[in-house]
Amino acid sequence: MKNNGLAFVLITTVAMVILGAGLSVFFSRFMNLGGAGTDTAPISGPNLPPQAAPIQEPAAALTYSPPSPQDAPPAIREAVLLGYNILLETGKYATPYVGNKLSCSNCHFKAGLTQGGKNGGLSLVGVGATYPKYRKRQDYAVDLVTRTNDCFKRSMNGRPLPEESKEMTAIVTYYQWISKGLPVYAEIPWLTIKPLPSTHVPDKTRGEQLYGVKCSACHGKNGEGTAAGPPLWGQDSFNDGAGMHKPVNMAAFAQLNMPLGNPDLAVEDALDLADYITAQPRPHFSAN
């Protein structure tokens, strides 16, 4: 009987040791896997494989499909249409704020409703979803009112629109309507215009020759403009604070869009032309 009792105790002890070891291994693995019902993060260590990064689905490609200004809902349609008309014929619809013979549509073709790129001017579709936005000029985030007034003061050589004016409200409402459906702060590819990739050193003399051949028929022999094209220098053009006064911007825009309707400038041609055009006399920008 004593032997049987001793055997029973030994068997029980061994079983408990085995069971305890198994439970220890089980709970250790469970915790390392971040087991359900716990707040413990997965344990990492030198002997454990690295945690796999979560798989991120690629962002869906953005599509270009701006709504028509005429399709704006009744509550904002009048404002949207006024904004559209201001961009098309700025001197007519925002007369007190324009100081030259340019319109916004000279750069933003069809009131910015194009997709940019070749022969598309500078698109505005999406600006309502990407502002406020950091700008190097202010070294701070600016809103659409500030950005628009920058154009009026510089490109239009005029004066800023009052922030709560009918005209400014219309322009911003138009921006937001044509940006409808685009995700806020998405990367919108057609809103960028990149500097031309070239090591070519611009040549003003060659630029002047090219201007006579390629540009003067529309923009005038002395850059004064004609019925077919806006003035490129002189008192009726943009001032020296405008973005288009920078040769890098002028060259990129010209290479993509000029001659209008049939752009065929080589990169070197655009760089030479921009160097010549931006060197011509024009109004001086004053921040005061």
Chunk the chain into consecutive blocks of 10 residues (it has 288) and report each block's average pLDDT, rounded to whole numbers: 46 46 43 40 44 47 94 98 98 98 98 96 98 93 97 98 98 98 95 95 98 98 98 98 98 98 97 98 92
* Statement to judge: residues 179 and 265 lie in one domain: no
Tell me the whole-structure pTM to 2 decimals. Answer: 0.79
Domain total for the chain?
2
How confident is the model at residue 287, as a pLDDT?
84
Domain boundary among 192, 224, 251: 192
93 in a structural domain: yes
Q: What is the CATH number of the domain that holds 223?
A: 1.10.760.10
Q: Which of 192, 216, 236 is the last residue of a domain?
A: 192
Q: Which domain holds residue 176?
A: 64-192
Note the pLDDT of residue 262: 95
pLDDT value at residue 60: 60
CB atoms < 10 A from the CB of 191, how many?
17
Residues 141 and 197 in one domain: no
Domain edge (last residue) among 166, 192, 218: 192
Computed over every residue of the chain, the mean pLDDT equals 86
Are 117 and 170 found together in one domain? yes
Does 270 map to a domain? yes
169 and 259 part of one domain: no
pLDDT at 52: 47
- Whether 42 maps to a domain, the answer reads no
> DSSP 3-state assignment of 111?
helix
The position carrying tokens 């925002």 is: 94
pLDDT at res. 6 = 46
pLDDT at 34: 42
Is 74 among the domain residues?
yes
Shortest CA distance to 127 belongs to which of 148, 106, 110? 148
Are 167 and 91 contained in the same domain? yes
Q: Measure the CA–CA gap between 181 and 73, rounded to whole angstroms.
A: 15
Single-letter amino acid, residue 187: E
Asked whether residue 175 is assigned to any structural domain, the reply reads yes
Joined together, the tokens standing for residue 185 give 């702060």
